[in-house]
Structure 1
Amino acid sequence: MPQQAFTFDPERLGETIATAKRELRHRIGDYRGAFARAEAAILAQAAEIRAEREAGRSAIPSLDADDVVAGRVDEAVLAQIRRRGACAIHGVFPESTAASWNAEIGDYLARNRFMARLAEAAEDPYFGGLDQGTPQIYGLYWSRPQVLARQDPRLAAACRFLNGLWDAGEEFDPGRLACYADRLRRRPPGSASLGLSPHVDGGSVERWLEANFRDVYRHVFDGRPERFDPFDARSRTRVREVKSPVVCSMFRTFQGWTALTAQRGGAGTLNLIPIADVMSYLLLRALQDDVPDDDLCGARPGRALSVDPHWHAPLLEALTPIPDLAPGDTIWWHCDVVHAVDPEHRGHEDSNVIYIGAAPWCDKNAAYLEEQWRAFASGRTPPDFAADDFEVDFVGRGGPALLTPLGRAQMGASSVSER
């Protein structure tokens, strides 16, 4: 059965937040001093990142996929990834394969008259206000390239590598993968952003209100932010999010993009604040005296957790472009890491990616896979997303027959009916 969602009384949300803040301040004790220490540590990292960016270097580590597959990544690089909470892995797929997939997806869209269907579709609330004539996020999940990319052995090796950076304990099996089917992004030159300002996915107000989230961040809420380890998996797979068509219900160790076209800074691509333990700053910032009692620095239920210039301006100075990616390269960021997209695409080519994250096998993810499999088998939208079901009758859609043994295992095919 899927994990129970976190619920609250919307009419009393302000009161609930105020009560939670009183509880957490009491638990922390010197919440001002705890924040001062967290702020100093995080902003010192932000200054390092800004200095590297200004010197023309990337603070985000880059690896070669061959080294990841062969298990020959240096300990110093592993430590840097854990500190920065992000890395680029180059050469996961051949450039020719990525280019072929990009062309096939374009044909898939055209052949099935996606734009005409989109004009009649309900608006996805996460990306509200987007001109339906020029989408950037495509609610498509089952094109052949997406299915093939998710089950590729080299991508699987990258995901196992990323899962292995965590202290999994009894929370998950880092070597066994679960496939989270996500969407496509196709951004043309000259386009303005669809509003993806700096944010963190996977929970907003719940991080302060829900018991398992509090356990994830127990050291922060015990007034010892320096002890917080973002790669400690304790309670991560048991957190309960607000049910929303814009909130991921699976646990991902890292979110990820697979580049189908070249990705360049300023050309419509991703930006990160590559600080893995940034949540210590964000959580304690909301408990300070200048924030209204019924507010958590603007966090809203059922949405991404925004990083707001009004409350977090010094942190935003560390926002930095990802390393340049060629088609077939990938970028990965820890589930707590702040990310955004370029507000303008000033490049000359489309910026196209497949969203593929790293999700390990755990009870939470296995429960989601049961519903996702049924959607996959019939071409419907996966359970986390707005149920537009575009692909049910699409020509060229990937189905169960396309899966390899690895693909079937990642989709949980052995535990659900294929009828």
Structure 2
Amino acid sequence: MSKRVHILSAVNAANISKDGSTYTIRDVCCAVDGIVMNRRLYPADQLAAGFATLEGKPAPAGHPKNAAGQHISALNGEALASAWIGSYARNARHAAGRTLVDVVVNESQARAHPKGLQLVARLDAAIAGTNVEPVHVSTGLMLDEIKANGESNGKAYDTVASNLRYDHLAILVDEIGAGTPEEGVGMFLNSAGQAEEVEAAALNAAEPEDKRHAGLMGWIRKLVTNGGDVSFDQIVDGIRALLPKEAYPREVFQRYVVWADYANDKLFRQDYAVGSDGSVAFISDPVEVTRKVEYQPVTNSQRDDPVKDKILAALNAAGINTASLDDAQLLTAYNSLVTKPGQDALTAANSKLAELELAANAAKDAELTALATELAVNTSLKPEDFKAMGLERCKELKANAKAAPIVPGTPAANAAADEFAGYDLNKLEA
């Protein structure tokens, strides 16, 4: 689905210069790799593919409109007649994760338009240092929207921007606040004469990234603490209050922050601590650092944690379905997988022990059976009777030669009675 978008951004007043009758507004940031605005992701590859369409495009005073109040292309004749102030985009580029462009303003052409006069006065004030407030601009572009869910730099998105085509870079002469501009809201009249909705988005090029939960330990810490009691916004506000006027935080980690001094174009790292009341304090001196960018193969645009990728790979290799598992369930499943070899070894050991115990019991039972059978000889007791006494008792009986007593009815008793065989008591009476 095609979409018209106006993206607001701000330019540091220190980036404005003049050479003869030409003003230059340097390093206007139009977009940042991986930024999410209005729940839409702007991927690095799409920004890199689309920046060239910004080269040479007009930089009118505000977003051009026709007589009916509808937004129109800056290349439209009506737009050139009403909003052209002798300015255009030059040196479009995509570098260090940002789409940048310089805006060139011809002073004589700008002065021919009422809004151009305002702009010249504003640019002169910036150069003189009498007005150091940022100059606001708004990039007008078309994009194709792709439905996709995910998260980038801690922000969720529902769609992904693709096939970016820049139309213009509007200079917002009248100062506005830092919020989303009402200027960007309305209807756009496309080349076919059809009205389309215009979406407004605010790009804070100085918006810090939340990297407190980067890496495996940070991910686990996030699961355990559920993100912590102090919000990211609270921490950032506290850090901003401690920084010099011409500085802003770039990346906020668990124990330190990387902040930029855009007056001197330098980066610094500084440790901080958060009190129980949510207050923030620096606990070290700033150390100047440089930014190092690394590129790795993309395995899934919705994840940027290689450790988490390895966890998912291990679970998938073990045949565990991870599609419906959240982060906490993934960690539980992975822990179970890691401890499984130990559990299997314990089960095998217990099985072996049970096998040895069974063999030992069988040997004892065989010994008891043999001994009970031996002791039952010449007795009226049966082997089962001796077995009931147990192995130790049977061993004791055998050791002491204490066989069970002979009772009447045994073969020995019958043999003793044979000596009276054939004796007739009636013969005595004769």
Name the TM-score class by shorter chain.
under 0.3
Q: TM-score, normalised by structure 1?
A: 0.20
More strand by share: 2
Decide which structure has the larger Cα Rg and report it: 2
- Structure number with greater CO (CA < 8 Å, separation at least 6) is 1
